[in-house]
Amino acid sequence: MKDLQYDHYIVCFSGGKDCTAAFLNLLESGVPKEKIELWHHLVDGKEEVFMDWPVTEAYCRAFAKHFEVPIYFSWKDGGFKKEMLRENSFTAPIFFEKENGELGQSRKGNGKKTTRRRFPQVSADLNTRWCSAYLKIDVCSAAISNQRRFDNKKVLVISGERGEESPCRARYNTHEKDRADNRYQGTYQTPCTRVTNGVKKTYMMTVTLGRNDRLVDRYRPVKDWAEEQVWTVIERWGVRVHPCYYLGWSRCSCLFCIFGNADQMASADYIAPARSKEIIGYEVEFGCTIKRNAPLSAVIEKGTFYPVLNDQAALVAIVRSTEYNLPITISPWILPAGAYGKSIGPS
């Protein structure tokens, strides 16, 4: 890294291989560990697990504990399911853990009342693929903007998008202003009118752009990396990655990720058959399938679950659990079964 002058380095940490590589790259670049914090956005909120892996939160906590860095969790109230089921109502508020242990909350009632009642769809448009925007991007931005500890500070938000995954991600900037940025841009005066007791008065109002002087940049250190580089740095540190990789997944997104192909959906059904049935029920209720071209039942029937699932009963039990007790490092290091698998990810 060229600039080590930030006060805070926030790593958006899903538990996946790319954000793991991005975090390790920070350490290898000489960033002081005391300036680094991991942020994980709970896709399903703090209630029941619906779309995500039950074990992910516990894995992320174990990872942070091993590397002795703080981890903060944030989420939209009710998570994926509440947003999916929203009907003539405001989107739910966002909650986030604060440095002092308290729970922060974004403002209620933003925007306007709308109805969703449909699954996000595969698209580069974040209005259509709303899960990324509402459950991750907006959550991160709100958590930064609503914490005074970032005022008058320089913050670098690190995320693990890689251009190799999609043409859209290949066009991302490696370094740019983050949407939570509110750096000072100057002060000016503008005429305003106010009516008091029927009397109109004009006065000059002082406007300060970036009054909090919160400088927030976004950095994607692995954007131009090949997958081989990702696994190389992970091997160098001996990290045992999220267990889904050892079960055949090439990406650590939601268990029932909308980008999943037939084999991945069949494998997800193997892991959590009750949840696949629940999703199928919502497809019928909405008249909108999670995959554009076929109902989930047909996608599962077309696919074949990953063969390694038959040989990894202990790991299957772990990913079905909300606890993670394995060491974060492993020796000798083992390349996961899902490495270099077919990329099933963002548009």
Cis before residue 332, ω within 30 degrees of 0? yes
Report the range of poorest mean pLDDT among 34-48, 187-201, 227-241.
187-201
Q: In whole angstroms, what is the distance from residue 343 CA to residue 261 CA?
A: 10
pLDDT at 109: 55
Q: Residue 127, Cα to own-chain centre: how many angstroms?
A: 16
* pLDDT at residue 67 is higher than 70: yes
Residues 37-45 have a mean pLDDT of 98
Q: In whole angstroms, what is the distance from residue 22 CA to residue 333 CA?
A: 19
pLDDT at 345: 59
Pairing state between β 186-196 and 199-209: antiparallel
What is each CA distance from 77 to 93, 96, 114, 131, 258, in whole angstroms?
6, 10, 17, 14, 21
pLDDT at 1: 46
pLDDT at 96: 98
Given 3-state DSSP classes, what are the helix, strand and coil percentages for the chain, each rounded to the nearest 5? 35, 20, 50
Residues 242-270 have a mean pLDDT of 97
DSSP string, 298-325: HHHHHS---GGGGG-HHHHHHHTSS---
pLDDT at 191: 84
Reference 52, options 242, 325, 287, 239; nearest CA is 242
Q: Residue 231, Cα to own-chain centre: how many angstroms?
A: 20
- What are the φ/ψ torsions at residue 66 (nearest 5 degrees)? -60, -45
| Those residues with Cβ within 8 angstroms of residue 251's Cβ, 6 or more apart along the chain or in another chain | 16, 17, 257, 259, 343, 344, 345
Q: In whole angstroms, what is the distance from residue 255 CA to residue 146 CA?
A: 30
- Position with higher pLDDT, 213 vs 212: 213
With beta carbons less than 8 A apart as the criterion, state whether 97 and 64 touch.
no
Count, residues in the chain: 347
Tokens 């991600």 locate to 169
Q: Domain 8-243 - what CATH class?
A: alpha beta
* pLDDT at residue 69 is higher than 50: yes
